[in-house]
Copies of this chain bind each other. A is one copy, B any other.
Amino acid sequence: MAKSGPNGAIARSIREGTRSRIVEAAVQTIKERGFAATSARAIAATGGFNQALVFYHFGSVNDLLIAALDHTSAVRMARYQAAIDSVDTLPELLAVASEAYQEDLAGGHIKVLAEMIAGASAMPELGPEIAARMQPWITLTEEAVVRVMAGSSLAPLVPTRDLAFAIVSLYLGAAMLTHLMGDATPAESLFRTGAKVGPLLELVTLRNGASAG
C-alpha cells in the first residue's frame, strides 16, 4: 500500500522485479531466435537491460533457461489441466488436445518446448532438468486417459502408462517435424484427421453398464 502510487504500469514492472523481466525476455528470445541464438547478450538485447544482470540474478544462462521453461510450463499446464477437467469422453479429449496444439503453435509455446529439448542435446547438463519437467505432462496425459476410459470394458486392457508416453511422444514428434518443415505443417492435417476419427472411437469407450454384471 505504502508503495503504490498513481504511476501504475511502471511501478508494477518495478515491483514485479527484474527477475521476471529477464525470464520473459528469455522466453521471447527463444521464440524469436531459437535456442542456439539465445545468449545472455541476446536476451539482454531483447529485454533492454544489461547482459551482466543475467549472471547476477540467475548465476548462469542455463539456470535462466530452466527458469524460463518452468515459467511457460506452469502457465500451459494450468490451462491444459482446466481444459481436460471439463471433458468426459475421448472425442472431446481429442478436440481439446487439437485445440490446445493449435493455440500453442500460434503462441510460440511449441517452439519454446522444441527448442529447449533440442537445446538439451546441446547442453547435456540441461537434459535431466528438462526430462524432469516432461514427466508431469506424461502424468497429466495418463490421468486424462484413465478418466476418459473409466467404465469402459476395455479399460483394464489398456496399458495407460505406455499410451500416455506414446501420446506425448506423438505430440512432441509432430511438433518437432512441423517446426522443421515450416510451412508444410502436416501436423495440422493429422489433427484434423484425429478430430474426424475421434467420434468413431467413442464406440470403444462407451460406458457399458448393460453388459457388466
Contacts and interface: CB of A to CB of B under 8 A. Distances in A.
Contacts of A134: 177, 180-181
A7 interface: no
A24 interface: no
B174 A166 contact: yes
A201 interface: no
A36 interface: yes
Nearest to A124: B34
Given A174-B165, A174-B169, A176-B173, A122 B193 contact: no
Q: Which secondary structure dominates chain A's binding surface?
A: helix
Interface string A135-170: 000100000000000000000000101100110111
A171 B173 CA distance: 8
A114 interface: yes
Nearest to A200: B157
Given A162-B193, A165-B186, A172-B177, 5 more contacts: A36-B123, A115-B121, A117-B176, A169-B174, A173-B173
4 tightest Cβ-Cβ pairs between the two chains A and B: A173-B173, A169-B173, A36-B122, A118-B118
Interface of A: 34-36, 114-115, 117-124, 127-128, 130-131, 134, 138, 159, 161-162, 165-166, 168-174, 176-177, 179-182, 184, 186-187, 189-190, 193
